[in-house]
């Protein structure tokens, strides 16, 4: 069996962060599509990346952020 054919073990990001005494809130394309059903997956991913880039630690990322954020680059 070559290294390319081995099954990969799922990454437990929360366990990794817990060992470092850190947390992370994870948003997905599926979350975006719940509040922006008119977008396709590619557009939803673009929006998530944009929201991350413009993230304000005082306001966070919310359902409202996802619903009103534009897609322009």
Angle at 65 between CA 44 and CA 15, to 5 degrees: 75
Q: Which residue has the tokens 């966070």?
A: 60
The per-residue pLDDT for range 38-65, each reduced to its tens digit, is 999 999 999 999 999 998 899 999 999 9
Can you tell me the mean pLDDT for 4-19? 85
Residue 22, C-beta contacts closer than 8 angstroms, at least 6 positions apart: none
* Prediction pTM value: 0.75
Residue 49 is predicted with a pLDDT of 95
Residue 73 has pLDDT above 80, yes or no: no
Residue 6 has pLDDT above 80, yes or no: no
């Amino acid at each position: 069996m070559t290294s390319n054919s081995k099954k990969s073990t799922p990454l437990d990001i929360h366990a990794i962060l817990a060992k470092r005494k850190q947390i992370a809130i994870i948003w997905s394309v599926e979350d975006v599509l719940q509040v922006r059903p008119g977008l396709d997956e590619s557009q939803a991913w673009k929006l998530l990346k944009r929201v991350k880039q413009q993230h304000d630690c005082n306001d966070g990322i919310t359902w409202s952020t996802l619903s009103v954020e534009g897609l322009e680059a």
